[in-house]
Amino acid sequence: MGNITTQAVVLRRAEYRENDRMLTLLTPEWGRVDALARGCRRPGSPLLSAAELFAYGEYVLYQGKGRAGVVSCQLIDSFYPLREDYDRLRYASYMLQTLGAQAVPGERTKELFLLLVRSLKRVCYLPLDPRAVTAAFLLMDAALSGYRPRLHHCVRCGKRLEEGQPVFFDIEEGGLCCRDCVSSERPALPVTNGEVLWMRDVLRVCIEKTERPAEDAPLPLLIKYLEARLDTRLPSGRSLQ
C-alpha cells in the first residue's frame, strides 16, 4: 500500500526482538495504528525518540499487507518534563491508556487526537492542576464520543435542575437526576453543586478559562462514567481516585 504520512502520538510501546519496538499510535485520520519501529533501540537510531511514550510527531509509515512499519519521524514534542514530575506523569499516562482502550483502527479520530495533544500540553507546560486537567479531558472525551452528560435536567423525570438543589449522577443514564428520582431500587452517585458547576463551565469555556476551583473537578465520577461507557476498567484509574 506504500507510505502514508500522518501526525501521531505514541500511546503504548512494547519491546520486540533485540532492537525493535511495537508501537500503538493514535492518528487523526487513521485512528489507532499498530506499527513496528525496527532498530529503534540501537544506539544512535533516528527512531529512538519517536518510539517513546508521549512522542508526538509527523510519522511516515509503511503499510504493507501485514502490520505497519515506522519509516521515519519528525518529532514535534516529546513532552519530556512529564518524566521529571511523577504526579503529572501518572495523570498523563491515564489519558494515553483511555484512548488506547477507546481508539479503533481505521476510524477517524481528529477531535480526540487534538484533545489529547492539547491536554498533554496543559499537563506538561501550564500551571494547571493535573487532576483537574485529567477530569476535563475525560469530560470532553465523553462529549466528543457522543456521551456528553446531561447536566441541566433530570435524566429520569426531565425536570429542570435549579442551582443549589441536591442532585445525583446516574452513570447508566448519563447525567444528573433529582433527589425525588433516587431510590434504593434506582440508586445514583451523589454530586456536589460545585462539581456540577465545574462540569457545566468546562464544557462551555474549556479548562483554561473556567474560574471554578480545581478542587471541584469530579475526577472519580468521570473515571467511572467514561470507563462504564467504554465497558472497560483501567487499573491505573483507581490510583487517581
- How far apart CA 88 and CA 90 sit, in angstroms, is 6
- How far apart CA 23 and CA 18 sit, in angstroms, is 15
Residue bearing cell 442532585? 167
pLDDT tier at 154 (50, 70, 90 boundaries)?
very high
Q: Which three cell numbers stand for residue 142?
A: 465523553
Q: Which three cell numbers stand for residue 58?
A: 509527523
Q: Which residues contact 240 (CB under 8 A, 6 or more apart)?
A: 90, 91, 94, 131, 134, 219, 220, 223
Tell me the per-residue pLDDT of 168-177, one tens digit each, with 9 for 90 and over.
Answer: 999 999 999 9
Q: Which residues contact 200 (CB under 8 A, 6 or more apart)?
A: 151, 152
Tell me the per-residue pLDDT of 77-104, one tens digit each, with 9 for 90 and over.
Answer: 999 999 999 999 999 999 999 999 999 9
Mean pLDDT of 224-237: 86
User: What is the set of domains in the chain, with CATH numbers?
Assistant: 3-80 (2.40.50.140), 127-149+182-232 (no CATH)
pTM: 0.94
- How far apart CA 102 and CA 31 sit, in angstroms, is 10
Phi, psi of 15 (to 5 degrees): -65, 140
